[in-house]
Structure 1
Amino acid sequence: MAEFLLIHGSCHGAWCWRDVLPELIGLGHTARALDLPSHGDDKTPIAEVTLDLYRDAILDAIDTPVVLAGHSMAGFPIAAAAEKAPRKIVRLIHLCSYAPVSGMSLIDMRKESPRQPLLDAIEKSADGLSWAPIPEKARKTFYHDCPDEAVAYAKARIVPQAILPQATALELGENYARTAKSYIRCANDQTIPPEYQSDMAARFAPEDRYEMQTSHSPFFADPKGLAQMLDKIARAG
């Protein structure tokens, strides 16, 4: 059985995996989730958050090699972790995430997408250091197929997202290239366009491409199905 470490996306925290963790454990795996700096219960000030800080928080949480899954923006810090310490990672799983291209930032990659639906649903802070979802647009953009209870749970816990980590170019080399990796495309995503996810997934081996018929939040829309897919990927080796 595998040991999973699950990493949340923008504005979220370890809390977003609440329904997936028991499903994975029920399948016989070890599974846990992490709050990145300034997310969830972590109180790091927004002004201090960097991509390197995200990366190091992930690596500091790993004692024995893990299957490292990252949702949405977490595609960047999980890739950075693989580049710095590949022996800590059995496989990367990009869950409807940005799959980094060396030399580009997340913002660079978002601008390459044919559509940018996220921009209509967020607002930047007055100090320019962060952005956050517009509350009345959050459901349509992130959770359109999720249960009402889960949407309320999420909206009560969302925090501002530091911009600097997403504006930082990531340099990747042989360590990341050699790390086993999979991509899960979410076909009804209203945040990262599914067609752009297809473009990113095309860089993965055909046998490492998967798909779910959900929104950008499969951890709430179909936690059992997501756990089963993670299980399938881990068992495939």
Structure 2
Amino acid sequence: MADFLLVHGSCHGAWCWRDLIPALEALGHSARAIDLPSHGSDPTPISDVTLDGCRDVVLSTSTPQTIVVGHSWGGYPISAAAEANPKAMRALIYLCAYVPQDGLSMVEMRRRAPRQLIVDAVEKSTDGLSYTVRPDKVHDLLYHDCASEILPFAFARLCPQAIAPQETPLPLSDNFARVPKAYIRATDDHTIPTEYEEEMSHVAPEELRATIDSSHSPFFSHPRYLAEILDDLEQKLPAV
């Protein structure tokens, strides 16, 4: 069975994989989640967060047998890790995530989307180093199809997101290209337009593209079904 490394998106932490980890373990896999710098229990000051630092956390916790799953912004650190050392992981799986294009930052990728869904939902900090999701927008943006207990659980743990790593361009080479990839698109995503996810999903071959009828947070709304999708993709990915 597979070893999954779960990498969260903006403002989240390892806590967001609470329900997916046991669902993957029930299918016989091992699953681990990490906190990126300044998230969850990681003490890094926001002013010190870089894309390279996020990349290095992924690399330090991945093995050549690991399938690295990146959610949303997490698509960038996992891609940077693959670019730096393509032998450090078995494959990448993008979960409603940004797939970088050579030399573009995540912010630039977001601006290329056909619709801008988060502009009115986030607030920049007074020092300009981070942003947070507006409290009145959290439910509709991230968790509109989740059980009622999810909102207070997540709301108590959401944190500021450093802007600098998301504005950092990511050059890509054959290193990134040769790492196997899969993509899971959410069909009811209120954060990244689902048609943009469909476009980005073409980084993976057709047999390694999947959809889930979910919000931007399928790890909360459909954890068991998401685990089944990951299990199916794992079986289709090249063996170690």
* TM-score normalized with structure 1 length: 0.98
Question: How far apart are residue 65 of structure 1 and its match?
Answer: 2.5
Q: Are the equivalent residues in 1 in contact too, given 2:6–2:70 (CA < 8 A)?
A: yes
SS at match of 2:149: helix
Aligned to 2:115: 115
**For residues 184-203 of structure 1, what are the structure 2 equivalents within 5 Å?**
184-203=184-203
Aligned to 2:124: 124
Question: How far apart are residue 108 of structure 1 and its match?
Answer: 0.4
Q: Are the equivalent residues in 1 in contact too, given 2:11–2:160 (CA < 8 A)?
A: yes
Superposed CA offset, 1:90-122 (max 9, x none): 110000000110110000011101111111111
SS at match of 1:148: coil
Aligned to 2:182: 182
**For residues 8-157 of structure 1, what are the structure 2 equivalents within 5 Å?**
8-157=8-157
Question: How far apart are residue 63 of structure 1 and its match?
Answer: 4.2
How far apart, in 2, do the equivalents of 1:203 and 1:181 lie?
A: 7
How far apart, in 2, do the equivalents of 1:203 and 1:75 lie?
A: 12
Question: How far apart are residue 206 of structure 1 and its match?
Answer: 1.0
Q: Are 1:229 and 2:215 an aligned pair?
A: no
Q: Percent identity?
A: 51
Question: How far apart are residue 202 of structure 1 and its match?
Answer: 2.6
How far apart, in 1, do the equivalents of 2:64 and 2:18 lie?
A: 22
How far apart, in 1, do the equivalents of 2:185 and 2:63 lie?
A: 29
How far apart, in 2, do the equivalents of 1:32 and 1:103 lie?
A: 30
Question: Residue type matched to 2:34 in 1?
Answer: L
How far apart, in 1, do the equivalents of 2:58 and 2:203 lie?
A: 24
Gaps (5+ residues) in structure 1? none
SS at match of 1:102: coil
Relative to structure 1, the CA distance from residue 181 to residue 63 in structure 2 (aligned partners, 3 Å threshold; closer, same or farther) is closer
SS at match of 1:219: helix
CA RMSD of aligned residues (A): 0.8
Question: How far apart are residue 203 of structure 1 and its match?
Answer: 3.4
Question: How far apart are residue 153 of structure 1 and its match?
Answer: 0.4
How far apart, in 1, do the equivalents of 2:62 and 2:224 lie?
A: 25
Q: Are the equivalent residues in 2 in contact too, given 1:65–1:87 (CA < 8 A)?
A: no
How far apart, in 2, do the equivalents of 1:152 and 1:228 lie?
A: 27
Question: How far apart are residue 152 of structure 1 and its match?
Answer: 1.0
SS at match of 1:5: strand
Question: Residue type matched to 1:200 in 2?
Answer: M
Question: How far apart are residue 235 of structure 1 and its match?
Answer: 1.3
How far apart, in 2, do the equivalents of 1:202 and 1:32 lie?
A: 27
Of 142-151 and 59-68, deviating more is 59-68
How far apart, in 1, do the equivalents of 2:8 and 2:154 lie?
A: 12
Moved over 2 A (4+): 62-65
